[in-house]
Structure 1
Amino acid sequence: MATVRGSPGLLAPLLLAPLLLAPAGIADRCSWRGSGLSWEPLSRAVEQVHLRCTEGSLEWMYPARALRVLLEPNVAGAQHSAVCIKPASDFQGASIYVERAGQLHLVVSEAEGARPRHVSCFSSHTPQGVALFLQASPQRDISRRTASFQYKLLSNQSAAGSDFTKMALVEAMCRPCDNMELLMAICSSDFVVKGSIRNVSHDSENHMSQVDVSVQRVYRQKNRIFQQEEGSGEWRGPIRTLLQCKVKKGGGDFLFTGNEHFGEAWLGCAPRFKDFMLVYQAARERGANPCEFELN
């Protein structure tokens, strides 16, 4: 997740004098696509890009010089939110820095090569949002390189406590859901599946755990994260959560709920299925269930 892995480095000289900024792009855009080949060869201006949606993407082809990207989602409470970015797997040609209190902190280095790209999250304490600098790497040829990433705003009050939060990606924290949260989860989650835990693996570097689920029934899924294997015919799928939640393999059937971020399933409420049945049936008898759920 969010990790400071370097110093301002190449971009440090930019902070010693006022930046020469090119005019900003069109406001209220969700995504931006541009090329360093279209810039004036002798210009020293840093092009500005404003992205003002809750999620979108940036694609910078043939990176040259530097790009300043301001993520400023135009929604209520944005000053108490987190912004997460996920570089593309083929990210090349630039490094990404985040600006904090006049200093630049390295987030993604091109030197990482083929290393899997992790998600980095940053809290935003002010309405000005989060400023990123993309510094183009020196190139000896004109072969195509593309520096691209996705971004997403997460409204999470716990994310506002630190500059580099490691918690912002998950909408549900590690504590167990209460009955009302569970009833709401089956109504509003991106995925709801019944299954058992096949395996749990941990990634200490990126502060994440992955739960491999053997699925008995898919009640709902936004995209095809849970799929049927061709050979065995078994339905399976991975669910991610925070390393700090200390998820362990347990026996029995569970009802897994959660939401998708950057095309990955993230764990929300996950009660044992028999416990969920008791909660739902009791709520239904009282007429307190917020939505109908097929029990069979």
Structure 2
Amino acid sequence: MLPNVIATLLILLLHLRPCAADLCNWSGSGLAAGVDPRTVLQVRLRCTEGSVRWVYPGQALRVVLEPYLSYAQSTTACIKPSRSFRGASVYIERAGELRLLVAGGGGRPEEVFCFRADGPQRPALYLQASPRSDTNRRTVGFRYEVVRNRTAAAPTGHNMQTSCRPCNDTELLMAVCNSDFVVRGFIKNVSHNLQQQTSVVAVELKRLYWQRGGVFQRRGSESGLAWHGRIRTLLQCGVKAGEGEFLITGSEHFGEAWLGCAPRYKHFLSVFQAARAAHQNSCDFPLD
């Protein structure tokens, strides 16, 4: 079945039809393909994150991700299907070959699909509409991100994944320089979601060094206002609540924090001070 679909899509490539889009988002209709059933709508998106919404999906849609990033570095693209994602399969195109990423039935509501996006060619996604009669009741949509693989929490493979092993000293020193967030604080609680195969670590911060987005928020506590947040990781990592103060780094994906390196703060201090004495630090870091 899959080879037949791939052959069909390759034939459709001969009938590409560009359609309007802003730099980050696209919303359109499969009816825009017109009467020619071989027409493929083509969209080019130039932001590192945005969304695609395809109503009345028909035939195929080609989405090229070409944000203003240096592809000389290792890069990953991720898509997060909407809760109502039904009616199309998503393929990755590389060097004229197609690989299935998301099946036509969609994925779980919180599932994220990732793939390597570095290389000489910009990554392209093909959405092939399912041959069903209830087209007028279907909307295919997803959010996307294109990020550099900077930390141990960078997504790899088909789904959002993190490394379960502790970071070594070299990875830790790089993480405090390049992560989407760096915080210091205490683990208040760890909860587990068997359906999503993830764990959520609730933290209260003693200090927020930086964050790319707004995953950590300030709210009231017994001691006054304090920064709080929730950090995700894989269930298989077996994260447990621990006593003491931690330095926590990680990445932000689709408005959520994902765990990277999380050593005890005393261990981080010894590693960083030793590296600074040997002039091996990649960046300066505020110690207090």
Shorter-chain TM-score: which interval?
0.7 to 0.9
Q: 2:157 aligns with which of 165, 176, 179?
A: 165
Q: 1:271 aligns with which of 263, 271, 280?
A: 263
Q: Paired residue for 1:136?
A: 129
Q: 2:40 aligns with which of 32, 42, 46?
A: 46
Q: Paired residue for 2:76?
A: 82
Which secondary structure does the structure 1 equivalent of 2:262 belong to?
coil
The question of whether the paired residues in 2 share the 8 Å contact of 1:79 and 1:124 is answered with no
How much does 1:181 deviate? 4.8
Q: Paired residue for 1:105?
A: 100
The question of whether the paired residues in 2 share the 8 Å contact of 1:176 and 1:269 is answered with yes
- Which residue identity lines up with residue 204 of structure 2 in the other structure? S
Higher mean displacement: 185-194 or 278-287: 278-287
State the TM-score, normalizing by the size of structure 2. 0.72
Q: 1:216 aligns with which of 206, 221, 228?
A: 206
Deviations 1:65-113 (A, max 9, x none): 221223355654459543221223443553323346745425143465x
Whether 1:122 and 2:115 are equivalent positions in the alignment is yes
Q: Paired residue for 1:96?
A: 90
CA change 1:186–1:145 in 2 (3 A) is same
The question of whether the paired residues in 1 share the 8 Å contact of 2:181 and 2:209 is answered with yes
Deviations 1:27-51 (A, max 9, x none): 9954433333433144431122234
Q: 2:167 aligns with which of 172, 176, 181?
A: 176
Q: Paired residue for 2:30?
A: 36
Paired with 1:60 and 1:46, the residues of 2 have a C-alpha distance of 13
Equivalent pairs counted in the alignment come to: 281
Paired with 1:279 and 1:106, the residues of 2 have a C-alpha distance of 40
The question of whether the paired residues in 2 share the 8 Å contact of 1:239 and 1:266 is answered with yes
Higher mean displacement: 139-148 or 44-53: 139-148
Whether 1:70 and 2:70 are equivalent positions in the alignment is no
How much does 1:58 deviate? 2.3
- Which residue identity lines up with residue 112 of structure 2 in the other structure? V
The question of whether the paired residues in 2 share the 8 Å contact of 1:73 and 1:153 is answered with no
The question of whether the paired residues in 2 share the 8 Å contact of 1:226 and 1:237 is answered with yes
Q: Paired residue for 1:161?
A: none
Which secondary structure does the structure 2 equivalent of 1:128 belong to?
coil
**Alignment root-mean-square deviation, CA:** 4.3
The question of whether the paired residues in 2 share the 8 Å contact of 1:10 and 1:135 is answered with no
Q: Paired residue for 1:195?
A: 185
The question of whether the paired residues in 2 share the 8 Å contact of 1:50 and 1:70 is answered with yes
How much does 1:145 deviate? 3.0
The question of whether the paired residues in 2 share the 8 Å contact of 1:98 and 1:107 is answered with no
State the TM-score, normalizing by the size of structure 1. 0.71
Which secondary structure does the structure 1 equivalent of 2:8 belong to?
helix
Paired with 1:26 and 1:135, the residues of 2 have a C-alpha distance of 19
The question of whether the paired residues in 2 share the 8 Å contact of 1:197 and 1:211 is answered with yes
The question of whether the paired residues in 2 share the 8 Å contact of 1:99 and 1:105 is answered with no
Q: Paired residue for 2:230?
A: 238
Matches within 5 A, 1:2-21: 8=2, 11=5, 14-15=8-9, 17=11, 19-21=13-15
